[in-house]
Amino acid sequence: MRGEEVSALSERFVIIGGQAAGMSAASQAKRRAPKSEIVVFEAGTDISSLLCGLPYFLGGVVERIDDLTVVSRDEFTDKRRINVQIQHDVLSIDVKERRLRVLDKKNGEERIEPFDKLCIAAGAHPTIPEMAASGLDGVFHLRMPADAVRIRRYIKEHEPRTAVVVGAGYLGLELAENLALLGLTVTLVERLSEVMGNIGREIGQLVAQTLSRNGVGLRLDADIGAVDGTDRARCVRVAGGGDIDADLVVFATGIAPTSGLGLEAGLAMGASGSIRVDDRQRTSADGVFAAGDCCEARHLITGEPVYFPLGTTANKQGRVAGANAVGGDEIFHGVVGTQIVRVFGLEVARTGLTRAEAIKAGFSAMSKTIKANSRANYFPGGGEVFVKIVFDQTTGRILGAQIAGQEGVKGRIDVFVAAITAKMSVSEFADLDLAYAPPFSPVWDPVLIASNVAKRNVRGES
Amino acid sequence: MRGEEVSALSERFVIIGGQAAGMSAASQAKRRAPKSEIVVFEAGTDISSLLCGLPYFLGGVVERIDDLTVVSRDEFTDKRRINVQIQHDVLSIDVKERRLRVLDKKNGEERIEPFDKLCIAAGAHPTIPEMAASGLDGVFHLRMPADAVRIRRYIKEHEPRTAVVVGAGYLGLELAENLALLGLTVTLVERLSEVMGNIGREIGQLVAQTLSRNGVGLRLDADIGAVDGTDRARCVRVAGGGDIDADLVVFATGIAPTSGLGLEAGLAMGASGSIRVDDRQRTSADGVFAAGDCCEARHLITGEPVYFPLGTTANKQGRVAGANAVGGDEIFHGVVGTQIVRVFGLEVARTGLTRAEAIKAGFSAMSKTIKANSRANYFPGGGEVFVKIVFDQTTGRILGAQIAGQEGVKGRIDVFVAAITAKMSVSEFADLDLAYAPPFSPVWDPVLIASNVAKRNVRGES
């Protein structure tokens, strides 16, 4: 039976949060149950924003902030008949009485809003070290469109010449590139000894070289002590010495789930303080769903719940929550931990587990790194691709991959995503009938070369 | 136990054919059994050629024909200690007496060569319609390096202004582009009503438009009657009228397995007249293997043997044959029928079955075509991608995909290759944790959009 037919109900489905997960839930529910009443409460002024595009708005690659809104509020309200209330803070959830306490920030009035079904899609917030709260101007984080607008305005008004980006993860790298594009002298500062968490030594070095070639300073193993200045930021102090000039400081030190409402309402909590959900996006309370950056997901390799907030996952989870809230029976299978970034033309991606993570998860993990051309050697263009493959030495199962190169990295990591999801072994992978023509790859695609090398290191294989 | 240890034999392993499959078999066998004697008989003068690069040598994209040799004969002979005999025709195989009759074309002498293990890797030859044998100069096919050298010399000496390429498959498209690059006025003539076999109407039209925009004429449903001229080609006659000027004619009308030696030796024949092999590349005769374009492969969707000659498959099969000939136990899993071509910047690929093929194979097949941006909509560059997905309406199993666009087509078709190999359903596929960042794809990658549309059309899914 089709979801559309099941759900000719006219329940009230309330959604907390108007970004990717929330609006996906709203749209999916309305599509399946056109008669149901759907209300979205969003604390901010923006809805349905493409947050991943914000660094590119900063750098001027994306010109208008409005280009980063998928669907406008008018479209949602008028055309899709979804009631979107912006600047509405949900203060508390009463699961038993099935109602919310809501603050309309425009007039300061509180009211009670009932629900039949609820979806918490409150997202995540930046985790910023305490000393960032220096009271100085010119110290920012980047999470929402309003943050990006603020930073851009500051740059226009104060014309900073130097910038420090704190945190060399994916966002930090994109920020460093985009601020450099604006002509600022940028230093990327990272507490750990490698960029991008644990992407591996070879690929980490590639990234470092790429930054250096493009005039971006990189300081690893560097703890920020304080941001100094009078009124405005002027310098970042690094523990152990070596201060860095910084007219502008942007923190990209990670995010944490905005799960407080769920916690206070008595919902079970999951990985890294996010809201616990099952594979139907159901929380521990009947008829209450959660989706996106405020909740966990199942890792398809370990089977364990993880907190791995990403826009793609938020969209998928939102759809499932929205469908199930109006009587559907959809499943979100889970994640394998895929990430990709482009920094000054270098493409870097990872999926699955690193060797260290795999060992921690109980696998007899081994990794092999190979280097090969992205195209047939004789074909113009292209360049080197590094592929690191992580696999179980006993079973041959593929557990993860990290790839870097000038082109074709997304496609190659995505093959690993599919293979890891399907629990493929290096031996099966090595026979994959991947597309080949000289402009696209060598006869032996780099990922096949990597799996062949891995195959020889699986016990019992020759 | 490792293959290297098993096979400290010193048998004589003879290989017929010195291209991709043959030289892969030779190298793999030598690696595993360094003491074994390995002899390769190649009828031509070239070995280990990158045949897929030949169209690009014609067009001048690849400058030297030697760039299309993977490993030189000296390297094989001196360094790898593999005995490579070029210009040696194998005339017959005596499976029972374990010997070959061989003709040394350099001195016209015949001799008997014994073998313990044999691998037939005789490749394929172009299938050219009879009227191509017009006796006129300027009529060619392109299969081996010598063919490419001949065409290039003819172009240099006779400066043809017009060319007809017969056959609008992958090779025909590459030829049309490369001859156009040289400044010739090219017409591509195809007997069928679509380019590239049955790639589907939408994508077929994209290819036709691309050709037209780049000044290449396309004549579909056109049967070539004859090539006319005096001494040299001047015109191609088309059945039903509409002759085409052609100072140069190149036939790209497909290839057939060079399997005659196997047939005459009494080996079982398989798909399309190729040599029958099992998943260990064993023919019906004990100790006789076959690999590459002269033999069949198993189709991983239908389970049936198919003839699907490709360089990548030849390399994989060659390795397996070589390993098993010296005591290994390797398997070649099979193919899913992947192909890709780039024509004037348009990337076109297919894998698995078309809807028609799937229905013929007994599936309740349906197809859906979507169009989406290759990158985030707001991100500069990129363009439209067409994805056609073929799936079983009852089980949701993915059966095939055809993709065309300006970028990212290889990566996207390869995800389908992995998914089809793993027998994934559209529902599992729709949750794939594919890599996402604005420079690489929209939040919903085009392949995920296609699988979501397909999912709604699977019976029992909503």
Inter-chain residue contact B422 with A419, CB threshold 8 Å: yes
Question: Looking at chain B, which residues constitute the CATH 3.50.50.60 domain(s)?
Answer: 3-50+70-125+256-325, 128-253
Mean pLDDT of residues grouped by 10 in chain B (462 residues)?
47 97 97 95 93 95 89 84 96 98 97 98 93 87 95 97 96 97 96 84 91 95 91 92 94 96 98 97 98 98 96 97 97 96 96 95 97 92 95 98 96 98 98 97 96 93 56
Q: CA distances (Å), B126 to each of A145, A444, B142, B255, B278, in order?
A: 60, 24, 8, 4, 25
Residues of chain A with Cβ-Cβ distance to B424 below 8 Å are: 418, 421-422
- B119 catalytic, yes or no? no
What is the least distance, in Å, from the CA of A332 to any CA of chain B?
Answer: 7
Using an 8 Å CB-CB cutoff, list chain B residues near A53: 376, 378-379, 438
CA distance B285 to chain A (A): 25
Q: What pLDDT, on the 0 to 100 scale, is given for residue A242?
A: 85
* Residue limits of CATH 3.30.390.30 in chain B: 347-455
The dihedral built from the CA positions of residue B352, B358, B360 and B361, taken in this order, carries a sign that is positive
User: Which pLDDT does position B9 carry in this prediction?
Assistant: 53
Topology, domain A3-43+87-124+256-325 = FAD/NAD(P)-binding domain (3.50.50)
Rounded CA gap, A121 and A28, in Å? 14
Contact B431 A332 (CB under 8 A): yes
Q: Which residue of B has its CA nearest to A334?
A: B431
Contact across the interface for B376 and A52, Cβ inside 8 Å: yes
Class of domain B128-253 (CATH, top level) = alpha beta
Q: Give the mean pLDDT per block of 10 residues along chain A (462 residues).
A: 47 97 97 95 93 95 89 84 96 98 97 98 93 87 95 97 96 97 96 84 91 95 91 92 94 96 98 97 98 98 96 97 97 96 96 95 97 92 95 98 96 98 98 97 96 93 56
**CATH code reported for the domain at B3-50+70-125+256-325:** 3.50.50.60
> What pLDDT shows up at residue B76?
86
Q: Centre a 10 Å sphere on the Cβ of residue A398 and count the other Cβ atoms it contains.
A: 28
Q: Do A50 and B379 touch (CB under 8 A)?
A: no
Residue B398 distance to chain A (closest CA, Å): 13
Read off the DSSP letter of residue B116: S
**DSSP structure class, residue B271:** G
Give the model's pLDDT for residue B77.
Answer: 85
pLDDT value at position B461? 61
Q: Which residues of A are catalytic?
A: 52
DSSP assignment of A27-95 equals HHHHHH-TTSEEEEE-SSS--SB-GGGHHHHHTTSS--GGGGBSS-HHIIIIIS--EEE-SEEEEEEET
| pLDDT at position B180 | 97
Per the CB < 8 A criterion, the answer to whether A255 and A124 are in contact is: yes
Give the residue from A433, A445, A449, A462 with the most B CB atoms within 10 Å of its CB, the best one to mutate: A433
Q: What is the pLDDT of residue A75?
A: 85
Cβ atoms A100, A111 nearer than 8 A: no
The ipTM value here is 0.95
* Fold type of domain B347-455: Enolase-like; domain 1 (3.30.390)
Measured CA to CA in angstroms, residue A47 lies from A55, A66, A74, A120 at distances of 18, 11, 11, 15
Q: Which of A338, A340, A255, A332 is nearest to A293 (CA)?
A: A255
Write down the pTM of the prediction: 0.95
Distance of CA A256 to the CA centre of its chain: 11
Q: How far apart are CA A56 and CA B438, in angstroms?
A: 9
DSSP-derived pairing of the beta strands A162-166 and A297-298:
unpaired
